[in-house]
Amino acid sequence: MRLIQKATALSALLLPGAVAWGSLGHITVAYIATNFVKDTTTTYFQDILRNDTQHYLAGVATWADSIRYTKWGRFSKNFHFIDAKDSPPDYCGVDFERDCKDEGCVVSSIQNYTSQLLDTDLWSWRRGQAAKFVIHFVGDIHQPLHVENVAQGGNGIHVKWDQSEVNLHHVWDTSIAEKMLGGIHRKPYDAGLVWAANLTEQIKSGKYQTASKLWNTGVNLDDPIQTAMGWANESNAVVCTHVFPEGPKSIVGQELAGDYYEKAAPVIELQVAKAGYRLAAWLDLIADRASGTAQPPEEL
């Protein structure tokens, strides 16, 4: 199923709660993935998620954020990030043993919930829950400040955005993406569907067509840790080049809606495109394995 047409009535899908990548980013990633997965993958995940509409991925893309601050979901609060203890801009890098908390991190969570998805002995509701986590965490790991320790991923760094005071994490989660689209006016599903359609075309036949052929290099369902670490280190490199190009201290209190935005916006767009394309490949691998039709990585 492909989602090139504009959304019309998606308000019923809106979910409450604080959201990483912003709801717009996660929803867009999910719609891009929907545009690239195989038809058999669509059928497989529509069944698991008990949703046979075209919004079966986007409708659960922010679920993991909506439950993280609840009493029940508190266990998952550390699963959305990995705190790279590096020193940008001089050195950027993620080390699993050093940076993943004992309670878990986004890298170990992608492994854990992928394994649960593939475990046919689990109850169907558990596998559905695992699918929701995987869809969300593949998005999270592509946000540069979800793979960085400085000031709690930028949450402790106060900056300005169009003269309003916000924290740096919020700028990378939400402000830049929303400004790129001219503001979303509380309609993230409509905006995400349109943005996803544009990025899908850019991947298929536009500026990302050539580069995207390499985006899934090294993706290996049998080694989710290595796969996720590749994604994490790629995202983390942006911390040195674009998030803190002159160091964390130099950005404090600065207005970021001007030149900083102009340099960061293409990076945000690229990371969202990669996340959606990679999520599709990951879900295809899971569905193929579950149905016994797995293909070798080079054929993806």
CA 6 to chain centre: 22
Which residue out of 83, 86, 173, 190 is catalytically annotated? 173
Half-sphere exposure of 183 (CA within 13 A, CB side): 3
Q: Catalytic annotation on 242?
A: no
Output the pLDDT for position 105. 98
Mean pLDDT value of segment 38-44: 97
Residue 4 lies in a domain: no
More confident residue, 11 or 164: 164
Q: Catalytic annotation on 158?
A: no
Which residue out of 55, 169, 242, 278 is catalytically annotated? 169
On whether the CB atoms of residues 276 and 197 are closer than 8 A, the answer is no
Output the pLDDT for position 184. 78
Residue 8 lies in a domain: no
Confidence of residue 224 (pLDDT cuts 50, 70, 90): very high
Residue 3 and residue 29: Cα distance in Å, rounded?
12
Output the pLDDT for position 295. 58
CA 176 to chain centre: 15
Mean pLDDT value of segment 242-257: 97
Its pTM stands at 0.91
Residue 202 and residue 274: Cα distance in Å, rounded?
11
On whether the CB atoms of residues 220 and 227 are closer than 8 A, the answer is yes
Q: Catalytic annotation on 195?
A: no
Residue 270 lies in a domain: yes
Output the pLDDT for position 293. 67
Confidence of residue 183 (pLDDT cuts 50, 70, 90): confident
Output the pLDDT for position 20. 52
Residue 275 and residue 141: Cα distance in Å, rounded?
8
Q: Catalytic annotation on 173?
A: yes
Which residue out of 55, 127, 142, 146 is catalytically annotated? 146
Output the pLDDT for position 203. 98
Residue 4 and residue 198: Cα distance in Å, rounded?
8
What tokens does 165 get? 């005071």
Q: Catalytic annotation on 161?
A: no
Q: Catalytic annotation on 80?
A: yes
Which residue out of 55, 63, 68, 242 is catalytically annotated? 68
pLDDT tens profile 196-205: 999 999 999 9
What tokens does 217 get? 């290099």
Output the pLDDT for position 21. 67
pLDDT tens profile 85-94: 999 999 999 9
Residue 51 lies in a domain: yes
The residues, any chain, with a CB within 8 Å of residue 138's CB and separated by 6 or more, are: 29, 110, 231, 275, 278, 279, 282
Which residue out of 86, 99, 140, 288 is catalytically annotated? 140
Domain hosting 227: range is 18-293
Name the residue among 291, 274, 298 with its Cα closest to residue 36: 274
On whether the CB atoms of residues 72 and 106 are closer than 8 A, the answer is no
What tokens does 179 get? 């400004």
Output the pLDDT for position 242. 98
Report whether pLDDT(152) > 60: yes
Residue 116 lies in a domain: yes
Residue 78 lies in a domain: yes
Q: Catalytic annotation on 26?
A: yes
Report whether pLDDT(177) > 90: yes
Residue 300 lies in a domain: no
CATH number at residue 58: 1.10.575.10
Domain count for the chain, please give it.
Answer: 1
Which residue out of 55, 127, 136, 242 is catalytically annotated? 136
**Which whole-number Å values give the CA distances from 24 to 36, 71, 88, 256, 275, in the listed order?**
19, 25, 27, 20, 13
Q: Catalytic annotation on 55?
A: no
What 8-state DSSP symbol labels residue 83?
-
Residue 41 lies in a domain: yes
